[in-house]
Amino acid sequence: MSALRRYLEGRTLASGILFGLSAASNLVTAAPALGLLIASRTKRQGFTLTAAALGTYGLINLPFVILNTKLWLAAFQFIYDWYIEGSWMLILFPTDTHSPYRHIIPPLVFGGMAAAMLWFRFRKRAPTTEADPLSYAFVSMFAYVFSSYIYTPQLNLALLPFFVLLPVANSYAEFFTFDLLNSLIIILGFSEVLQPLGINYNFHPNDGTSVVWGIAVIRSLWVGKFVIADGFLRIFAPGREGQDEGGGVGLISPVPLPGSAIEADRDRRGAGLHRNRGGSGKVASQEVAVRDRDLIGA
């Protein structure tokens, strides 16, 4: 989130460095960078973000690659050898969670969603200056999780911030239900809460006869719904309209300029530093108009 905030503030270099640090610790959390790259307003901005992220990632990993290349590659091999866990792909391979297709399907699905983002970004009827980087970051993050054959409950920590920043869910009830399913996977599938009562059961998420297996599949498909129905078809739609999560009132959410909310907040806090030439201590009327315009646009 820190990298995303700096991007919205216009600090692309700092954002790229932080995304590089994120990728060096956990590749999943750097997934929003692809959406920001697609939403870049200029080629220079996109190049700066990419170069900073890849450069930081390379500098951090280079010493380990030189010292022990085999051990460094072992981390990637460990993930590569992992089985299908918590993903909708369990429907396709319920008895063979080590199917080789688990390495073929994810890049195809994620690549298709990335192509859809490019289409929405550069279609002729949508001016390129109106692209909302936050929306593209959200779709990129959720698309990565949906396309992955490994979807552990912990991954929801990377998704939760976007429910706050954007109207991802149609209602609070939908969000709470989605998060409840994720919690049930942990409680029922791993905690075995009934054992103290002498009740033993097999609720492993990868067992097709387990109710947790069904919960994991539904939760994974739900992420796909957030990407396609809420991302591409609703949030990306020009003049998008949704339902107010509190009272069911129609909500019109125009596409903001990159960082408009943060810039407006910064203008509001810094307005007191600007004085007119007469030294009266009041903010110039033109500056007030600009600030109010930013606040309304945010």
Q: Rounded to an integer, what distance in angstroms lies between the CA atom of residue 279 and that of residue 79?
A: 64
Contact 138, 231 (CB under 8 A): yes
User: Comparing C-alpha atoms, which of 160, 166, 147 is closest to residue 220?
Assistant: 147
Q: Rounded to an integer, what distance in angstroms lies between the CA atom of residue 182 and that of residue 290?
A: 44
Residue with tokens 């791993």: 190
Sort residue 192 into left (φ over 0), alpha (ψ -120 to 50) or beta: left
Give the model's pLDDT for residue 187.
84
> How would residue 124 be classed by pLDDT, with cut points 50, 70 and 90?
low
Q: Write out pLDDT tens, residues 242-264.
A: 444 333 333 333 344 444 444 44
DSSP assigned state of 129: G
> How would residue 131 be classed by pLDDT, with cut points 50, 70 and 90?
confident
* pLDDT reading at 93 higher than 60: yes
Query: Residue 101: which residues within 8 A CB-CB, separation 6 or more?
Result: 89, 92, 93
Q: Rounded to an integer, what distance in angstroms lies between the CA atom of residue 144 and that of residue 204?
A: 24
> How would residue 130 be classed by pLDDT, with cut points 50, 70 and 90?
low
Per-residue b/e over 155-191, b at no fewer than 16 CB within 10 Å? bbebbeebbeebbbbeeeebbeebbebbebbeebbee
Residue with tokens 């080629």: 43
